Structure 1
Amino acid sequence: MKNVSPSLLRQALTNDPALVESSIITLQALTLGLRAVHTAIARFDREIARTFIQHPDASLFAALPGSGTVYSARLLAAFGSRRERFESAEALLNFCGIAPVLKRSGQTTIVHRRYARPLLLHQSFIEYANESIRHSLWARAFYQMHKSAQKSHWVIIRALAYKWIRILFRCGRSAPLTTNFATSNHFKKAAPPYSNTLPNPTPKLFE
């Protein structure tokens, strides 16, 4: 493209009326379709926001660092409204595919990621863990510690998602819900020793 003159680029590819007119009609039809999709997305966003704010667990997920309007709703939906659905954090970790698969045979041990998993659920936790590095001092310390140990990016992100699920599961089981992660015993139990690498006290740890 570097050798193509500007005048040549401005020339029409074709002047054939049949091709030009049919292309115009196609473009107009696509534009109408895109407008309808845009309207539907806006309606979905409003309904998701309305439903989220009415949920009793909304404050927990809204308090997560960097969760915003997107991840807070996705993570709440991932945990669901029935807390008894998963008896333990490990049950949720296995279901969503964050927990690795461990295979042992004699003297051999193989660890690999879980391939059978609900993709959107798995993706929600992975994407949030990746985003949390930008907003959470603890998550950043976790990432840097493992990065210095020569771990690859996505291996660390999966491990971080694993930690976030354990933290959220513990906080979600408390009554009332715990939103002050920095001083929460649930956080301290689920996230050692990385919390020890942060300044003390840490009242704004997850802002």
Structure 2
Amino acid sequence: MDVFCGIDWAEGHHDVAIIDHTGKQLAKCRINDDLDGYEVLLDLLAEHGDTAEAPIPIAIETSRGLLVATLRTGTRQIFAVNPMAASRYRDRHGVSRKKSDPGDALVLANIIRTDMHMHRPLPTDSDLAQAIAVLARAHQDAVWNRQQIASQLRSVLREYYPAALHAWREKAGTLTRPDARKILGAAPTPTLAALLPTWKLRLMMTNAGRKRGITEDAEWLHTLFRQPAARQLPSVEEAMGIQAKALLTQLNAACKAVDELAKAVERTFRTHPDAPIMLSFPGVGAQVGARILAEIGDDRTRFATAGGLKAYAGAAPITRASGKRKYVGRRFVKNNRLNHAGYLWAFATLTHSKGANAHYRRRREAGDWHAQALRHLFNRMLGQLHHCLQNRIAFDESIAFPTACAGQAV
């Protein structure tokens, strides 16, 4: 490769630098973030030897957006360089700590000129895998947003309406439950809740989709809402009720978004060729499987070994050694989305796989904390997932955990 390109990405414009194999700058320009700007960039690349058979490699500080989507057509290698890594490279060219957008584009071009073998190009994932990634990340963000709003609502209710927190404290989903949101919408203050008759509580639960335990819970709530309790001043209580109802409106919208995205994720994920293999693993459902697939993709050349996948997910430990000092601990630089999905997966396997549960118990007996033991289990399951995807085979408990299965047979 004789020509390299670096692009400093920004919201409204992008700076481009093209250099040759000696580091000499051949061209530079600034393009707008629109179709005309993309065409200018492609024409500039073509002027310096870019062809469909031998495309010029490009380094950029992002892996998403219309610009990246335009450049990823064909066999072009796109290197998404972490901005922190680019900042370290900038210091190689000068100690004055000066910075400019054209200068950053030049630094990015030099990164792949000198150290291309140290960086990994964007994977060649299929269109379906990229679509699943969009939906799975949107669903994950919606779940986090729902939890944040629910926490805000809980904080407000604690100040004037503790009975509402006690009512659904032991129920799955707590304030995000449909029946909880239905009743809080009708009675956002303790005064209004005390006026609700039992029949109306039953009706709201039924309308919210409850099927069992309606009569018992309605009678219990009827009693709870009428118990003597500390109250705010009437005007303050009414104002806080308005605040809670505003948060409840946001929570209803967030819950609806989560439900709609969950259906879209499951529908799209099950059409992917890797879905049957991933669903064969204990603890992996459509949502967790889609989140894992979204982060690892379906380009089987992306991770040459299981160790690379484990490091990417933050499941493998990292070693820091200098002289007589040595430290082995968890990774802080990782794919946080995949790591989060991994903990959900590992925790779910405890009740779906006797071998995984035995592995977790051994780690706990060895002195690991709960999170450490789950990380060890996630590390092991990732290695098995890498093997199954590479060889196109389903998960087999007797092969994955032979000791546990042998003991079970005895």
TM-score when scaled to structure 1? Answer: 0.76
DSSP 3-state at the match of 1:117? coil
Given candidates 42, 57, 67, the residue that maps to 2:284 is 67
How far, CA to CA, are the matches of 1:92 and 1:182 in structure 2? 21
Given candidates 276, 295, 317, the residue that maps to 1:100 is 317
5+ long unaligned stretches in structure 2: 1-161, 163-225
| Partner residue, 2:354 | 137
AA at the equivalent of 1:199: A
Cα 1:79–1:181 change in 2 (3 A) is farther
Identity of aligned residues (%): 26
**Cα deviation 1:38-63 (Å, max 9, x = unaligned):** 22112101110111111110001111
Given candidates 285, 289, 296, the residue that maps to 1:79 is 296
Q: Give the greater-gyration-radius structure (CA).
A: 2
Alpha-carbon contact 1:64-1:72 (below 8 Å) kept: no
Alpha-carbon contact 2:266-2:287 (below 8 Å) kept: no
Alpha-carbon contact 1:63-1:179 (below 8 Å) kept: yes
Deviation, 1:32, is: 2.9
| Partner residue, 1:13 | 232
| Partner residue, 1:48 | 265
- RMSD, aligned α-carbons: 2.7
How far, CA to CA, are the matches of 2:243 and 2:366 in structure 1? 54
| Partner residue, 1:205 | none
Given candidates 182, 189, 193, the residue that maps to 2:397 is 182
How far, CA to CA, are the matches of 2:347 and 2:338 in structure 1? 15
Alpha-carbon contact 1:61-1:73 (below 8 Å) kept: no
How far, CA to CA, are the matches of 2:328 and 2:309 in structure 1? 19
Cα 1:152–1:28 change in 2 (3 A) is closer
Deviates more, 1:54-63 or 1:37-46: 37-46
AA at the equivalent of 1:77: A
Cα 1:200–1:110 change in 2 (3 A) is closer
Deviation, 1:161, is: 0.9
5+ long unaligned stretches in structure 1: 203-207
Deviation, 1:88, is: 1.7
How far, CA to CA, are the matches of 1:166 and 1:156 in structure 2? 16
| Partner residue, 1:162 | 379
| Partner residue, 2:37 | none
